[in-house]
Structure 1
Amino acid sequence: MTTEERILLLQSTPFFGATNERSVALLLGLSKTIHLSEGEFFFHQNDKGDSLFLLEKGSAEIFKTFNGIDYVLRTVNNGDCFGEMALIDFTPRSATVRAKTDCTAIEISSKALHSLYQQDCEQFLIVQMNVSREVSRRLRLSDERWFQSQVENNCTSSS
């Protein structure tokens, strides 16, 4: 993928929408490209995290492990971002991410985002607001799924 294509890909995502080309180019220049084979891990639950990932190519599943059983939370595909929570709350990774297929991803570190802050505070703020909106959207969906499961459990219990 060319640099121009990568810039457009980042700008098309919820996290980096409305950011200018110069800012995205800065982030790309400070980021790593990660290549994983099917079955390899981006990171594990409870790992220390200081970066987010944009999946350029492939598919990966995000899951939590409890009592030796993996529970899939969601699948990410081309253009999806993940791993951002570690940048927001500075706590260990809350889930594991494993490549379902061969994957290529851009790893954007907190250090790269800090450089954007130093270079262009307004663009950094746009990224932060975008990440907050996307995390809020995911929380809203999660709340709705939880609510629906409670309603279904109550309907089943009262029958």
Structure 2
Amino acid sequence: MANGPEKFFVFADDRQVYGPADVSLLQEWARQGLVSPETWVFHEGSDTWARGKGIAVLNGLLTAPTPSPETRAGGVGLRGGQLRRIRLFAEMTNEQAEAFAGMLERVQARAFSPIVRQGEHGDAMFLLLEGEARVSIRTQGKEDTITMLGVGDFFGEMALLDSGPRSADVVANRDCVLLKLAKSNFDRMIAETPEIASRFLLAMNRFLGGRLRATNERFAKAQQFARGASGQIAAPSPAAMQWKKGF
């Protein structure tokens, strides 16, 4: 056994390794549900990996993994006026926002857990109500972080249009509460209340336009920097281009 405090590293659901953690921090992660019985944990002293259920200091602290946000749902608990405080819904009337809230589901995501995965077929978009998440692309086995998401930001909107594969991972940096709009509910909204769906699409289009302008500005600054550094124009990365298109 190595001298000094025991050190552990955790291979989390987002495929990232966290640590080093001493015994007390590892136990706190377990109490928070960040380490499950099936989570891989590395013990530095013995130079071995083991499942959480095989780590003696975690006995009695582990619970079963939390289901994915894609399958967990509950009541939204928001009135129309409350929903309108979110910029995406600000131009709806209280009645329209109330009807829209009835189409939403409230979901939760633990810190470090994936909310959507690159390559999976999407059937819903999400809006971040609490917490923080990151958008990243996996290229050649490496994570390339594209942007950070905060309260009021949304993602996965392309799933409402084509149910195609997700073009990026979105991972919770902290415990998150999200509002989920399933494509089936969105399709029903278009059929039953087209005026509400139209307002929502117009608002979302404005936000996406702002996102595109910001991305173009970052590209321009990156190209200026590249010219100054090497005299050549740098091409946008594939990861950035995917984010520019939306996911």
TM-score (norm 1): 0.87
Secondary structure of the corresponding residue to residue 221 of structure 2? helix
User: 1:89 Cα shift?
Assistant: 4.8
In the alignment, the residues of structure 2 paired with residue 121 and residue 147 of structure 1 have an alpha-carbon distance, to the nearest angstrom, of: 38
Partner of residue 83 from structure 2, selected from 2, 7, 10: 10
Within-5 A mapping of 1:2-151? 2-4=77-79, 7-151=80-224
TM-score (norm 2): 0.58
Computed over aligned residues only, the root mean square deviation of the Cα atoms, in angstroms, reads: 2.1
Q: Which has the higher contact order (CA 8 A, sep 6+)?
A: 1
Taking only the aligned residue pairs, the percentage that are identical comes to 24
Which runs of no fewer than 5 residues in structure 2 stay unpaired? 1-75, 233-247
Aligned-partner residue type, residue 172 of structure 2: A
User: Does 2:223 correspond to 1:155?
Assistant: no
Aligned residues of 1:47 and 1:93 also touching (Cα < 8 A): yes
User: 1:15 Cα shift?
Assistant: 2.8
Aligned-partner residue type, residue 114 of structure 2: F
Secondary structure of the corresponding residue to residue 15 of structure 1? helix
Higher CA-based Rg: 2
Deviations 1:17-57 (A, max 9, x none): 31222332233223221111101111111111121111111
Which runs of no fewer than 5 residues in structure 1 stay unpaired? none
Aligned residues of 1:38 and 1:99 also touching (Cα < 8 A): yes
> Which residue is equivalent to 2:36?
none
In the alignment, the residues of structure 2 paired with residue 70 and residue 14 of structure 1 have an alpha-carbon distance, to the nearest angstrom, of: 30
In the alignment, the residues of structure 1 paired with residue 104 and residue 216 of structure 2 have an alpha-carbon distance, to the nearest angstrom, of: 33
User: 1:100 Cα shift?
Assistant: 0.5
Deviations 1:73-127 (A, max 9, x none): 1111222212113224543111111111111111011222222222322221111
Aligned-partner residue type, residue 72 of structure 1: T
In the alignment, the residues of structure 2 paired with residue 58 and residue 157 of structure 1 have an alpha-carbon distance, to the nearest angstrom, of: 40
In the alignment, the residues of structure 2 paired with residue 22 and residue 14 of structure 1 have an alpha-carbon distance, to the nearest angstrom, of: 16
In the alignment, the residues of structure 1 paired with residue 97 and residue 213 of structure 2 have an alpha-carbon distance, to the nearest angstrom, of: 28
Structure 1 residue ranges, 4+ long, deviating more than 3 angstroms after superposition: 7-10
Secondary structure of the corresponding residue to residue 101 of structure 1? coil
